[in-house]
Amino acid sequence: MKPKRINILGTPVDCVTMSTALDYVEDIILKANKPSSILAINPEKIIKAKKEPLLLKSLKQAKLVIPDGVGVVWAARLLGLGKMKRVPGAELMPAICERAAQKGYKLFLFGGKAEVNARAVAVLRKQYPGIQIVGHHHGYVSKQEMPNLIEKINTSEAEVLFIALGSPTQELWMEQYFPKLKNIKVCQGVGGTFDVIAGTIRRAPLIFRQLSLEWLYRLISQPRRFFRQVALPKFVYKIFVCRLTQ
């Protein structure tokens, strides 16, 4: 069943939970006759999308836009737009992998450094026995090499493609290359999730996640993210303005 879609500051997001998102992904795999994108949204990306028309276009065209950031869930509730739960992309991808292992869906992993990509594949194969990862490739591919990669994805007969190129690069890649993909039904942009699976980047401890403070842990552990996080106060301010003018 297609989830309810709302708009926060002009950017789409779907009212889902992990369970309903996963069921909808499987429904897409079973019924789609062309690639459908799954993208994640958080306050930072909402602010960025207001300045980058191509990113906003990709989000609007996505089949599923998951509320990856707790700020998105908070804003939806404050504005009375709909109820949802946070669906981190770093958790949805493994959930899709588990479902794929059970149902026999074929997967392809594209992106990240070569050693990270290979390690993520090895971890997933160990964690989900029977999983069919029919191909993988690192993310350092030139424009001239891209036709060969597309051919590799097509000949693998993969149905699910995970792309870890970072945002907005992965969204723009989908925009450009979707028409050339023959068998892909679902394509999820997963950002740094390969690094998390491979163990090169640690997610926040469980207590931070339970308290919806994963963003704070990431800021403390990666101070270079500070300038990216300046979008948060802008987001909060704009949400309160919207609430007061309703």
Q: How many other C-beta atoms are found inside a 10 Å radius of the C-beta of residue 60?
A: 14
Give the pLDDT confidence of 54-101 residue by residue, as tens digits. 999 999 999 999 999 889 999 999 999 999 999 999 999 999 999 999
Q: In whole angstroms, how far apart are CA 33 and each of 17, 115, 116, 181, 182?
A: 25, 33, 31, 11, 9
The residues with which 137 forms a beta bridge, in sequence order, are: 110
Give the pLDDT confidence of 130-189 residue by residue, as tens digits. 999 999 999 999 999 999 999 999 999 999 999 999 989 999 999 999 999 999 999 999
Note the pTM of the prediction, 2 decimals: 0.88
Q: In whole angstroms, how far apart are CA 225 and each of 17, 39, 68, 213, 245?
A: 27, 21, 17, 15, 32
φ, ψ dihedrals at 164, nearest 5°: -115, 80
- What is the Cα–Cα distance from 49 to 57, expressed in whole angstroms? 9
Q: In whole angstroms, how far apart are CA 185 and each of 125, 133, 143, 158, 175?
A: 21, 15, 23, 9, 15
Give the pLDDT confidence of 164-179 residue by residue, as tens digits. 999 899 999 999 999 9
56 and 6 Cβ atoms separated by less than 8 Å: no
Place of tokens 């779907």: 14
Percent of the chain residues topping a pLDDT of 70: 88
Written as six digits, the tokens of 67 are: 């509320």
Domain boundaries defined on the chain: 5-198
CATH 2.40.50 is right for the domain spanning 5-198: no
11 and 76 Cβ atoms separated by less than 8 Å: no
- What is the Cα–Cα distance from 182 to 165, expressed in whole angstroms? 21
Side chain identity at residue 27, one-letter code: D
